[in-house]
Chains A and B, each alone.
Chain A
């Protein structure tokens, strides 16, 4: 690894004063030529997915440090700044909002880099100054520790999710109902009742065209007559809720009369018409009644 690979790295040893300052301690790989290299090394899928995973600038820096196997106590600031800015640029090119915090960190990195480029003061004030990276290192280490703590919380969370206490069965206040909960007949009836209560009466008119079927009515009349011997015209029509149903019922009655299934009688003028079963004469006439809706 020659100096020409990492021209910026020349600044690192000059200013580094941490105990870890050895020629071997910091060996970042050469900066990747491919700008997406920052992400390409991550095995988890797409660039976008990778991008949103960083919780903030410190998280991003820790990622870069880990990825490039950098000693956190001897960060090659030029290298890391370059990688960091590459990433910010990538965020921009993807039209992502670069949060202000990321920019503040970029400025911090560049300030540290600039400080390290300055020649060391020859006089003994250097102890006051210290390593310009120190504060950042402290922050990174502290953040890394809390990240670890967050990790342990996460595994506690996972363990805890395997334990269920009483009262965890879904209540009515839950946002989403059970998508595939088994429903009983009574549930269905309840649901029907609720719908019936909610649907206003006049909507019956809107759908009546589909509801009233001549053959259904024929079979209904024939069955009633067969079971009860007779039914009065008034009763029959009284059961109709809509004009269309009256008409359909009437047509059905006419059809039955025509087929010879029923006959109509009237005891007196203007009296109630009685529909009665007709004595079997033509068996073929029964056919459409016995198979209602067959057509």
Chain B
């Protein structure tokens, strides 16, 4: 029997949790069909917005989470004064991005893209549970394969991986960020050269793009790693992990 006031009951469940609650779990707990719960969620979200509530409903990491409204961040921050919240270094963000788009991916593949040793950063990301071991690749050396976690989605406030910009969106962002290059071409290059240059760029991006998200062109054959062997495997691959900060 579903609760008589479904929306209020929903609010109670959401309030009680500091983790995103999947729709199925909410429906199960409320003994109500998922579509009714989904509708109640939409109504509740609208109600929060409508009355300018201090909390908001967000869809994060495949579930629903009640969070404080961003416009009150300053006040909550003051309440939490002194509490150190983690912030990722540039190296960590780069590594995180590569793993997110290329997963499952090996350390050497990450390093090939970044051009630098990434053991320490990987260790930190593993320690913070933003990255996990997906198994081993069957290529030579049987390197570990890394992938993102639910915590990764939660940390970046992503509903799922599809919320990351697509390769073509990234390309547009790159272009927008490097306007001087386009400007230069527009001003100095004859139209034909501009057209060719753009085409070449598109081709290159298309090549790069094809192995960008969400299906790795590397297609590792994955071999599982036992839960108990995980720490040893990581220590072996990354050296001493976690003793060096990512930045």
Contacts and interface: CB of A to CB of B under 8 A. Distances in A.
Interface of A: 18-20, 22, 24-25, 27, 53, 55-59, 66, 69, 71-73, 99, 101, 105, 137-139, 141-154, 156-157, 159-170, 174-181
Given A143-B114, A181-B82, A148 B170 contact: yes
Contacts of A165: 18, 65-68
B156 A168 contact: no
Interface stretch (B3-11, B23-31, B41-49, B199-207): B199-207
B80 A56 contact: no
A107 B18 CA distance: 52
Contact of B193 (A22, A99, A142, A146): A22
Given A164-B67, A178-B83, A150 B73 contact: no
**Closest CB pairs A-B (n = 10):** A56-B116, A160-B157, A167-B18, A149-B97, A19-B196, A162-B70, A162-B73, A163-B67, A150-B93, A58-B115
B196 A20 contact: yes
- Name the residue among A163, A166, A176 with the largest chain B CB count within 10 angstroms: A163
How would you classify the secondary structure of chain B's contact residues: helix, strand, loop or mixed? helix
A187 B217 CA distance: 60
B190 A24 contact: yes
A145 B76 contact: no
Contacts of B90: 53, 55, 150, 154
A169 B80 CA distance: 6
Contacts, number: 187
25 contacts: A20-B193, A20-B200, A25-B197, A56-B114, A66-B180, A69-B180, A71-B184, A73-B204, A141-B208, A145-B174, A145-B212, A146-B101, A150-B96, A151-B177, A153-B97, A154-B90, A157-B155, A163-B157, A164-B80, A165-B66, A165-B67, A165-B68, A166-B66, A168-B18, A179-B81
Interface string B149-183: 00000011110000011010011011001101100
Given A55-B90, A144-B174, A149-B101, A22 B115 contact: no
A108 to B, nearest CB: 10
Nearest to A52: B247
A71 B158 CA distance: 35
Contacts of A73: 197, 200-201, 204
A77 to B, nearest CB: 17
Interface residues of B, number: 67
A284 B83 CA distance: 60
A27 to B, nearest CB: 7
Given A71-B181, A143-B113, A154-B88, 18 more contacts: A19-B200, A22-B190, A99-B117, A138-B208, A139-B115, A141-B204, A142-B113, A146-B94, A150-B93, A153-B156, A159-B70, A160-B155, A162-B70, A164-B76, A169-B80, A175-B84, A176-B82, A178-B81
Given A169-B79, A181-B82, A159 B157 contact: yes
A245 B174 CA distance: 80
Nearest to B19: A165
A174 to B, nearest CB: 6
Nearest to B102: A146
Nearest to B163: A156
Contact of A148 (B73, B76, B173, B201): B173
Nearest to A67: B180
A172 to B, nearest CB: 12
A170 B83 contact: yes
